Amino acid sequence: MSADWRADAERALERGRRSDLRIPSFLLRSPISRIGYWWGTSVGWVWGSLWSTGPIERRAGLWVFRGLPDWAYGRGGVCVGGCYLTGDVDPSDAVLRHESVHKQQWLRYGFLMPVLYLFAGRNALRNRFEIEAGLEDGGYVPRSRPSTGSETQERQKTGSP
């Protein structure tokens, strides 16, 4: 991890803001993007329903599908539309906060979200969508402030750092 990840992150966010200026406004947070969001949510529901062996819950405004095999989602989990698909670990409130921002990104970009995310890259420290969602909440960087007791207890339950 770069010692100056915050400066790199800010540059990635600025690049993302400039890129957004090239997207026609009728595609952003519009009826068209809403259709893309619902399409993504439908894909998430189908995928989650096929592979989830754990509980399916409504948390933090998301449909959370747990118990998917490791190959069925990326990293620690993936947000597809309004669905969060993950493995056996019960996601913490911080992770769900992070994923809820991804849901909002789906609402803004709709069908463009998977393509834009792909072009943003797999490095979370340079991916504007991960940065906007919160690198600390997503578990990509250590918390810069001391955790509250409830956050510490949540991490202990989930085995997170």
User: pLDDT tens digits, residue range 60-81?
Assistant: 999 999 999 999 998 899 999 9
> What are 2-11's pLDDT values in tens digits?
557 899 999 9
Region 37-46 average pLDDT: 98
One-letter amino acid of 98: H
pTM (two decimals)? 0.86
CA atoms of 47 and 82, how far apart (whole Å) = 13
Alpha helices in the chain (DSSP H): 5-20, 31-51, 93-109, 112-120, 128-133, 149-158
pLDDT at 155 (0 to 100): 42
> What are 98-110's pLDDT values in tens digits?
999 999 999 999 9
Residue 35 has pLDDT above 90, yes or no: yes
Contact 108, 17 (CB under 8 A): no
CA atoms of 36 and 24, how far apart (whole Å) = 15
pLDDT at 159 (0 to 100): 43
Residue 150 has pLDDT above 70, yes or no: no
CA atoms of 27 and 109, how far apart (whole Å) = 7
